Amino acid sequence: MPFFVYHCPDCGAEIELLRPASQRDEPVRCEACGSERATRSAASFASALGSGSGGGRSSGSSCGGGGGGFT
């Protein structure tokens, strides 16, 4: 289940929710001020893509291993 970040326009709070992608645009209630106008933040895109792309099996090792003996 992807992770989404919502922003409350009334008090500026950020609400982090774990919910199905099909419900990502559903209204969210702000816990801080009770407003129901919180909207999905653009930051949630980065989180969703980062956690969902690839298994990360060799991304780290390939980067570190190529650094030595390059000269």
Q: Which residue's CB is nearer to Zn ion, number 1 or number 11?
A: 11
The shares of helix, strand and coil residues in the chain, as percent rounded to the nearest 5, are 30, 20, 50
Tell me: does residue 11 bind Zn ion (CB under 5 A).
yes
Tell me: does residue 5 bind Zn ion (CB under 5 A).
no
CA dist 55 and 16 (Å) reads 24
Q: Which residue's CB is nearer to Zn ion, number 25 or number 31?
A: 31
- How does DSSP classify residue 21? G
Q: Which residues bind Zn ion (CB under 5 A)?
A: 8, 10-11, 13, 30, 32-33, 35
